[in-house]
């Protein structure tokens, strides 16, 4: 599957998940300080709305050339920058969650359709403006699929709803996480854990 194919499959899976989330679970704890509504809002913003918006803002230069370099860039930011980014993300999640209202699925499906259509209309080499700089669509799109997959799992875990993901989508997301671990110095540790040689420290994360 191409990056476009896996993104489309992830967008459809996330849409189907949101359609099964009970309304009385929207205010329940989702992830950290976020409610389920906030969590869905963040995922919609980062995984769907950002795609159509990004394709609407072509970049002039290619600044990052791999999906993992997009996430690795955050490791180079200072604590003040990271704190501001976390605060902005929380505010954005809340705003999107409120915008989705009491029936998020009614809004998520058209947003997913818009993102999928925008991806289908663009070529893999299209230069997209991202938070990390200009990137080719084929390199940036896996980061959006990653957002849909990981946060889709968060929503499923918080609500008991089922997220059905094709193997190729899971493989792409897991592969990105492994490559990110490698380029940020944790590749050996992660490989040993995945092959049963050792465990990972409590709270370990590649992002």
In this predicted model, what pLDDT tens digit does every residue of 47-91 receive, in sequence order?
999 999 999 999 999 999 999 999 999 878 767 766 777 778 878
Q: Which two tokens stand for residue 9?
A: 């499959």
> Does residue 28 lie within any of the structural domains?
yes
Under a CB-based contact definition with an 8 Å cutoff, are residues 75 and 28 in contact? no
Cα–Cα distance, 157 to 186 (Å, whole number): 26
For the whole model, what pTM was predicted?
0.95
List strand residue ranges (DSSP E) for 26-88, in order. 29-31, 34-35
Distance of CA 170 to CAs 46, 72, 110, 175, Å? Answer: 18, 20, 24, 8
> Does residue 207 lie within any of the structural domains?
no
> Does residue 204 lie within any of the structural domains?
no
> Does residue 202 lie within any of the structural domains?
no
Residues of the chain with pLDDT under 50: none
Q: Residue 198: exposed, middle, or buried by beta-carbon count in 10 A (0-12, 13-18, 19+)?
A: exposed
Report the pLDDT value the prediction gives residue 2, as an integer from 0 to 100.
95
Parent domain of 110: 3-194
Report the pLDDT value the prediction gives residue 127, as an integer from 0 to 100.
96
> Does residue 200 lie within any of the structural domains?
no
Question: Which tens digit of pLDDT belongs to each residue from 115-125?
Answer: 999 999 999 99
> Does residue 43 lie within any of the structural domains?
yes
The domain tally of the chain equals 1
* Residue 7's CATH number: 1.20.120.450
> Does residue 87 lie within any of the structural domains?
yes
Secondary element (H or E) of residue 163: none
> Does residue 60 lie within any of the structural domains?
yes
């Amino acid at each position: 599957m191409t990056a476009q194919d896996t993104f489309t499959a992830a967008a459809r899976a996330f849409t189907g998940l949101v359609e099964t989330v009970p309304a009385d679970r929207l205010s329940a704890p989702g992830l950290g300080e976020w409610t389920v509504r906030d969590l869905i809002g963040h995922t919609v913003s980062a995984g769907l709305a950002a795609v159509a918006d990004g394709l609407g803002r072509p970049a002039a230069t290619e600044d990052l050339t791999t999906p993992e370099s997009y996430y690795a860039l955050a490791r180079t930011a200072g604590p003040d920058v990271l704190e501001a980014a976390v605060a902005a993300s929380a505010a954005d999640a809340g705003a999107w969650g409120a915008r989705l209202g009491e029936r998020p699925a009614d809004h998520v499906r058209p947003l997913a359709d818009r993102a999928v259509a925008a991806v289908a209309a663009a070529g893999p080499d299209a230069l997209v403006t991202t938070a990390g700089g200009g990137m080719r669509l084929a390199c940036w799109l896996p980061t959006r699929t990653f957002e849909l997959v990981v946060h889709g799992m968060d929503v499923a875990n918080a609500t008991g709803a089922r997220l059905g993901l094709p193997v190729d989508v899971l493989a792409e997301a897991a592969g990105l996480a492994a490559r990110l671990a490698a380029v940020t110095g944790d590749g050996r540790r992660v490989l040993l854990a995945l092959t049963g040689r050792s465990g990972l420290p409590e709270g370990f994360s590649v992002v």
